[in-house]
Amino acid sequence: MADEEEEQVIAEAVVVTSDMPDAMKEAAIATAREAMREYSIDKDIATAIKKKFDEHPEYMGTWHCIVGRNFGCSITHETDYSMFYKVGGTSILLFKSME
């Protein structure tokens, strides 16, 4: 019998809006998928994504992440460091704050 992990369907990712470079977008999507496999609570998913980007050697700085199915926001972010995307039915807003 196949492993549960092998049977799991990888959720489709849809980028709604982004000003990130393509490599960073791919890293954000991969990080979200990894976090969603490990955690089921939105806050924990957001924390995992934020920590990964805070600690990434190329993306250094202060990152913020909001995860959920329904939220509103108004943000100020550093140019070239924001992305609003969906993985499955979950929306994710990831951005680097201005320092």
- Written out in words, the top-level CATH class of the domain with range 11-96 is alpha beta
Domain ranges of the chain: 11-96
Query: Do 77 and 96 meet the contact criterion of CB atoms below 8 Å apart?
Result: yes
Give the pLDDT confidence of 13-67 residue by residue, as tens digits: 999 999 999 999 999 999 999 999 999 999 999 999 999 999 999 988 899 999 9
**43-35-81-76 Cα dihedral, nearest 10 degrees:** -10
User: Whole-prediction pTM value?
Assistant: 0.85
